[in-house]
Chains A and B, each alone.
Chain A
């Protein structure tokens, strides 16, 4: 009998060859293939090198400022001594204290609280520099160590790094620390950087802007270059809190000192917030009522996270999401959203469907058919064959069935019985 059309809908599955199969097909790739593989990996791993480097640069700048401050203090101390009429003993004592300061040493009888703090600060800064330089070196070594022999171990380490990154971004700090420690990943993950962010975020969640403002001051030139308005947003929120507390005169003083300078670039926002003075916190006017809602602090936290990631050169999305979406974009087909999507397909699960929602469908140049009986691919070596009832199965499966049943074929879906000779070969486009 002749077939006018083939009902391929139920047999089409966009399942590509898996990475494991690829690895199996090439069990021992030559050494030279290591470089392209690493290059591909680096496209998603730029923050692996950039974050500790940015952290290192920041520490260097802070230490440089601290040293300059100490030098200024010492120089003015010398000038002071030269101008004053000191007795020989007093002069000697004064110079000794200056020498101690320069050497970063403490000596009994020559330190005050401020001096002690300054010395500890310098020592701490120096140690931090050393640790961060070391971290940069460790990561370079780690990337260089990736080769054919230990690729499996390397990928396993990368998986853990990605999980730690995800936990840190979701504020699961304790879990991240434990995983990093148990896998000896401390130098390969950015826990200390995220701890810095944690302090600011915790404060914002307690409606305290001081640490965030201090962070803005520390990174003033970088934020200005990127035209950030993080500081302005923080100032607006602090103003709103003063209005909420009906501290109106302090609010006006605050606005004149901290908000007015932003008027040239953000006048509309400035005006809208200042106008709350005329409405008070219990206003029903929706334009201004929203400014007094608690969720404004949530916006500040989100805004800070974005600025923080941008400043350190991190991706705005967790690496885990990025890797998952890269994989899902290769798997996503219209079939995934139908009811009879197979359980093996990750997109049969709601969580993955949500993650894949904004992604485009994968581009399939050729149809890929999977045998209902054997679950194997049907290709030129194992071509699909069509039963009289229109159902399609692989040649291998049908041949094996024929051997067991004296040349008869029994359709597993409809129960139809026919002869092997009645089958028609199908071609895959």
Chain B
């Protein structure tokens, strides 16, 4: 007989699998102390190779998150030369983070010089050109925080760039660039959506948030 995924109450879950999933999440996000504490409590296997570069990754991530893009770039290049060389999109995003930082600090002259020397060369490609126009327009406003492009100055935007950088570093280290947690959630969501379609339900589409509340 076919297994009905909705009868998950009958499915046995291995504790080790759960531990690995949680561990994967903590490692991905550089929660080093939490990792050590978790391992001590659960008696899980020590993943020595994971911890080596976590400190470096953590520092890079935080520099990017707080907008210190130049420092993040410097440390990333120390880790490995070709991470950014092979990823122009990420390179542009990091450089633009620095530009935004200069604009917010009201350093127009520096921002201008930086734009001409570092961002200008990207302008030959259409996909960067449009982004560049968005960033340059910030200069036209005395208070960029109140301009139509205010989203470029937000924590959310920096978070997005920092995440991209983190994934790139993980990929370079031959580690998973997505956590097991993410993959499981994506998989579960897609499966539930397919089941809803096949059953021809007229109800609302599957919502993880609603599911977890029920």
Contacts and interface: CB of A to CB of B under 8 A. Distances in A.
A429 to B, nearest CB: 61
Interface stretch (A264-272, A291-299, A328-336): A264-272
B136 A271 contact: yes
Contacts, number: 67
A268 to B, nearest CB: 8
B147 A277 contact: no
B37 to A, nearest CB: 48
B116 interface: yes
Contacts of B129: 275, 285, 287
B198 to A, nearest CB: 44
B141 A260 contact: yes
A284 to B, nearest CB: 8
Q: Name the residue among B123, B140, B142 with the largest chain A CB count within 10 angstroms.
A: B140
Given A249-B108, A264-B148, A274 B139 contact: yes
Contacts of B112: 248-249, 252, 277
Nearest to B99: A278
A288 B134 CA distance: 15
Interface residues of B, number: 21
B140 A263 contact: yes
A213 interface: no
Contact of A252 (B108, B123, B134): B108
B107 to A, nearest CB: 12
Interface residues on A, range: 20 to 34
Interface in B111-136: 112, 115-116, 119-120, 123-124, 129, 132-134, 136
Contacts of B119: 278
A361 interface: no
Contacts of A287: 129
A275 B133 contact: yes
A259 interface: yes
B190 to A, nearest CB: 37
A260 B123 contact: no
A271 B148 CA distance: 11
A64 to B, nearest CB: 35
Given A256-B142, A277-B115, A278-B115, A271 B133 contact: yes
Nearest to B122: A278
Nearest to A258: B140
Contact of B147 (A249, A263, A280): A263
B153 to A, nearest CB: 16
A172 interface: no
Interface string B142-163: 1000011000000000000000
Contacts of B133: 271-272, 274-275
Nearest to B118: A278
Q: Name the residue among A260, A272, A275 with the largest chain B CB count within 10 angstroms.
A: A275
Nearest to B108: A252
A271 B149 CA distance: 10
Contacts of A267: 137, 148
A272 to B, nearest CB: 6
B131 to A, nearest CB: 10
B30 to A, nearest CB: 34
A279 interface: yes
B148 A256 contact: no
A274 B136 contact: yes
A278 B137 contact: no
Contacts of A341: none
A285 B140 CA distance: 22
Q: Name the residue among A270, A274, A285 with the largest chain B CB count within 10 angstroms.
A: A274
A283 B115 CA distance: 14
A278 B132 contact: yes
Contacts of B120: 278-280
Contacts of A274: 133, 136-137, 139-140
5 contacts: A249-B108, A260-B141, A260-B142, A263-B147, A283-B123
Interface of A: 248-249, 252, 255-256, 259-260, 263-264, 267, 270-272, 274-275, 277-280, 283, 285, 287-288
Given A248-B112, A256-B142, A280-B120, 15 more contacts: A255-B139, A255-B140, A256-B140, A260-B142, A264-B148, A267-B137, A267-B148, A270-B137, A271-B134, A275-B136, A278-B116, A278-B123, A279-B120, A280-B116, A283-B123
Task: List 6 A-B pairs, minimum CB-CB distance, nearest first.
Answer: A271-B133, A255-B140, A278-B115, A271-B137, A275-B136, A278-B120
